[in-house]
Structure 1
Amino acid sequence: MTNAEWLSRSLKAVWHPCTQMKYHDSGALPLVPVASGAGAWLYDFEGRRYLDAIGSWWVNLFGHANPRINAAVKDQLDRLEHVILAGFTHAPVV
């Protein structure tokens, strides 16, 4: 899928809550279509590379697709993906 195709699909299906509403109304939302990430970099569907200067959540410390974090997440998903803490407890919390 090309960047343009992905952007068109995204604008039809997703409200982007951290953007200006005027862009939604005009259909000219300035989005970067992210296909993947590695380290400090994001990549679009056509292979262009962007420095992730926002780095939300843990990405600002450990980078995208960090092998150690990915392995831990995959291991946890194989055992227990989620349990609410309202009346429950489990090993990852403790």
Structure 2
Amino acid sequence: MRVLTAILALLLSSPAAAEDCQTCSMADACMKEYVKATSEAQRATKQAIRDWKQNLDRKASAELSSRGVLALQDAMEAQVRSELERLKGTHTTKTA
């Protein structure tokens, strides 16, 4: 019977009594601070991931650009060599 009375007393106690409780106030403040800190951490993490992805994109873009320039340079050098060889062959047949 005493347990039932204690439960009823807890259920019927007003929210104002809970606000007056030092432990409840501290727990509420702690939870609010935790929620705020986790929210800020999530925002910072998302921003860091975006920055990291952008950096990877720039790095990959620069690497691909560099490879493209080297490939183009090699192709042009090969074409110039080929043209020089062709001109040398034309020149030797005319002089012969």
Q: Do both proteins adopt the same fold according to a TM-score greater than 0.5, normalized to the shorter chain?
A: no
Whose radius of gyration is greater, 1 or 2? Answer: 2
* Bigger share in helix: 2
Q: Which has the higher contact order (CA 8 A, sep 6+)?
A: 1
Give 1 or 2: higher strand fraction.
Answer: 1
TM-score (norm 2): 0.20
